[in-house]
Amino acid sequence: MRIATSTLYNEQSASIDNLYVQYQNQGQQLSTGKSLNVPSDDPTVIAQDLSVRADNTVQTQLGKNYTDLTNQLTTVDGALSNLTSALQSARNLAVEGASDTIDAAQRADLGTQVDQILQEVIGFANTQYNGTYVFGGTNVPSSTPLVQGQGSPITSVTSQGNLVAQTQEAPNGTSIGTGVTLQQAFNVNAPNGSPSVFQVLINLRDALNKGSVVDQSQAALNLPGTAIANNTTIAQLQTGAFPQIMATPLTPDNGVPPGYTINIANGTNVNGVNVNILPADTINGAPPNSVIAKINAATAGMGITASFNTQTQKIVLTSTSNPPAPFTITDVPTAGTGATTASNFTTAFGLSTQASNTNYLSTQLGDMDQVLSTTLSARAVVGSEIQSSQTLETAASSQVNNDTNVQSGLEDTDIAKVTTEFSQTQTVLQAAYKTTAQLEQQDLFNYING
């Protein structure tokens, strides 16, 4: 069978076209360094390549998110570090003020320094990151400060936002905290009723400036899991009562019947007034049969008032005279009962027998240590969150590197291999061109004679 010249020519031309396409593809791979430039280059690989590219994009964005989160948490930690330093400075001022070697003017100077610390602390509470208050919880105000001082000098502090901690969900479904709340960092609205950082500083400043004289329980009176209510009776707080409520139960004097009597005295009444307390009396129930009511009735003309805080579980006696005056609280045997020993009322209620400005400053160290402990706990939480964020950031970065390596393996050109193939294709193509050129020079007689 004889093959037509046109058939040979067409087959040769098709072969040249295929070689030329192959030559172009190899040249493009060498110039771009990529073996996959369009989906048609290798349909069997392109699906895997697109999947890797998509994961790379997701992991890159996650890495950016965790970098931003780490920066935010670092900002929070910086604010807490500043707060810790400020509170330690205020504590040092309280210790200095509690010394009997300084006078009222020097204490007032210390109070001025505490007031400056208070204003700085309010600034720390208003720390922002990317325009958001970092201690604002999940309901962050936008147009006004998160924390504002009221009065001049500041007598109280108000706050917006809420006490719900912000979180960010990780790809594995777990949540990571993005900071801490005002409660966690500044003890605002503490569940145990202890004062906030702001109130502690206000109390300390006023004690230094005004010479405040306050005698309060040095610690919560109740045992963990129990609480003293306003209508709790003295009998329920005595030794042997069940369940035991007080950390240090009350022990009456040896009178008949046994009872409790305290003497409160100050410069207005140097002999003092006796306050007789009965087992049936409540702590702060309906007057006149309550401890608080009896103390307030007895000291009405002495400028001393008493109160009981069910949240903090503390009893507080305050000098209301101007200027505040020292006073004493002592246990004495109940008169007319044959008692020769006194009860342990002041010890059980954690009261100082000598109420003075210096003693009040000393007892404030407990509140200062409480808020310092709260702040340090918040820093520990933030430190843990920073570690978690950095771990997730590292994991995302590692996955990006892995995806990049896989993508490179799928897309990158094997330069040595393709260079050899390119050279071979070029040689074959040149030979094909030469052969085709020779075919085009032949006529019918060449084929017949051949």
Q: Which tens digit of pLDDT belongs to each residue from 414-428?
A: 455 556 655 666 666
Mean pLDDT score, 45-56: 62
pLDDT of 34 > 60? The answer is no
CA 404-409-412 angle, 5° bins: 95
Per residue in 351-399, pLDDT tens? Answer: 999 999 999 999 899 899 999 999 999 999 999 999 888 877 776 667 6
Confidence of residue 94 (pLDDT cuts 50, 70, 90): very high
Q: 390-394, long-range: CB within 8 Å, 24+ apart, which pairs?
A: 390/66, 390/70, 392/62, 392/66, 392/170, 392/176, 393/63, 393/66, 393/67, 393/69, 393/70
Fold of the domain spanning 34-212+360-412:
f41 fragment of flagellin, N-terminal domain (1.20.1330)
Q: Where in the chain is the domain with CATH 1.20.1330.10?
A: 34-212+360-412
Helix axes 415-441, 5-32, angle to 10 degrees: 160
Confidence of residue 175 (pLDDT cuts 50, 70, 90): confident
Confidence of residue 108 (pLDDT cuts 50, 70, 90): very high
Instruction: Identify the residue with better confidence: 450 or 90.
Output: 90
pTM of the model: 0.75
pLDDT of 449 > 70? The answer is no
Which of 45-59, 235-249, 299-313 is least confident?
A: 45-59
What's the mean per-residue pLDDT of the chain?
Answer: 84
pLDDT of 41 > 70? The answer is no
Rounded distance between C-alpha atoms, residue 379 and residue 372, angstroms: 11
> Averaging pLDDT over each range in 4-18, 62-76, 272-286, 403-417, which range is the top one?
272-286
pLDDT of 324 > 90? The answer is yes
pLDDT of 343 > 90? The answer is yes
Which of 152-166, 313-327, 396-410 is least confident?
A: 396-410
Confidence of residue 1 (pLDDT cuts 50, 70, 90): very low
